[in-house]
Amino acid sequence: MLPILSADEVAPNPDAAWKMLMTEEWRPGYVAESTTSLPVQDMPCEGPGTALQSIPGYTWVQLKSLLHSSAQPEKEVLQILMTIQMDEPDDCCLGIVTSSSFLLPYTMPKPRNMARTLSGDLNFLLLNVTFFDTITSGFPIFGIYDSLSTDDYRQWFASAESAEFFDPLPHSAECEIPAAQVLQEMLEEQRKAWHAVFKPTLGADDGLFLQALEMFDVSGQCRPAVAAAALVLALTRVKVLSNAAMPSHKAKKSGLRDVIELVTKAEELIKDYCWHEKVSFGRLVASEWNFWWLLQQLQIGLKQIFPNLWAVK
């Protein structure tokens, strides 16, 4: 499933594979303009039609750089995001949702209000964007969801108050098989270890990869487990590329194909899990399958391989 990468035939342009792949019509999740359901056309919000209007002289590119950096003063970040939330039109949907989601712990610190807002006005699954295109937009929304998924937020869903607003998670015997349970435990351990390191490297070690490979090949109906496994396999593919000294154009293109297919598979399973098993997005953010951490890792890793993936200030 995950072929070994060769380091020969280095492409003269390090982003050539990315540019070529993005022009192909086979891309999973792509919606052509001839259909009745159009995707967001300028997700990175770098064009004039989606330019930031509420702060003169400031751009969405600068905001993305600000949110990806941990060095900025909290007061400065909050001031910018509050201005955007109050005064910015909805032209850049990912920018608005990212800004509003970042502010949730400040504007709605109670888990009840946060969960209800995420399941309503800030339900990411209602946006007409794919997971992969969101990754390549540069908006760190998946990392924000991961930061919202604190122990307190997760534990609230086991409370009596939670039962007043949300149905319990559907029971699935398939999610209790050893392969699924071990995968979930390993994901949680590695996520915690990653957050505990000051300058963490990409997550997903060889043990997690082997466990994900086993879960991915198991026939069953535990959608969240298979989705998490697909994301681990995608991240492993990215790690192999990022660790190669000079991956070739062919290797980059092949690896990127695998990542797109695996992320798309995970997205389909996660959406099926929500729609068919009635799982709200607020609860999904609290999932112990740690989808958001894995998607954040993919965004970080792909940016290392393709520096021009999105613009920086």
pLDDT at 23 over 80: no
pLDDT of residue 171: 80
For helices 178-196 and 291-305, angle between their N-to-C axes, nearest 10 degrees:
60
pLDDT exceeds cutoff 70 at 2: no
Mean pLDDT of 137-158: 96
Residue 11 has a pLDDT of: 37
Q: Confidence class of residue 36 from pLDDT cuts 50, 70 and 90?
A: very low
Residue 271: burial class (beta carbons within 10 Å; 0-12, 13-18, 19+): middle
At 299-312, the pLDDT tens digits run 999 998 888 888 88
Distances (CA, A) of 12 to 34, 124, 295: 35, 38, 29
Averaged pLDDT, 93-104: 95
The reported pLDDT for the residue numbered 27 is 41
Half-sphere exposure of 163 (CA within 13 A, CB side): 3
- Please give the residue that has the higher pLDDT: either 157 or 5: 157
Distance CA 137, CA 297 (A): 14
pLDDT given for residue 43 in this prediction: 86
User: How distant is the alpha carbon of residue 203 from its chain centre?
Assistant: 14
pTM across the whole model: 0.86
The segment with the largest mean pLDDT, out of 166-170, 259-263, 306-310, is 259-263
pLDDT tier, 145 (very low <50, low <70, confident <90, very high otherwise): very high
Q: Provide the residue ranges of all domains of the chain, joining segments of one domain with +.
A: 16-33+42-305
User: Residue 147 — pLDDT band, cuts 50, 70, 90?
Assistant: very high
Question: Token pair of 1, please?
Answer: 């499933």
Least confident of 17-21, 31-35, 68-72, 125-129: 31-35
- Tell me which residue has tokens 């660790």: 243
Contact 167, 282 (CB under 8 A): no
The stretch 216-231 carries a mean pLDDT of 84
- What mean pLDDT, rounded, does the chain reach? 84
Least confident among 30-39, 83-92, 116-125, 195-204 = 30-39
Quick: pLDDT tens for 234-248.
999 998 888 777 777
Q: Is the pLDDT confidence value at 26 over 90?
A: no
Answer for the pair 175, 222: CB distance below 8 angstroms, yes or no.
Answer: yes
Token output for 259 = 């990542």
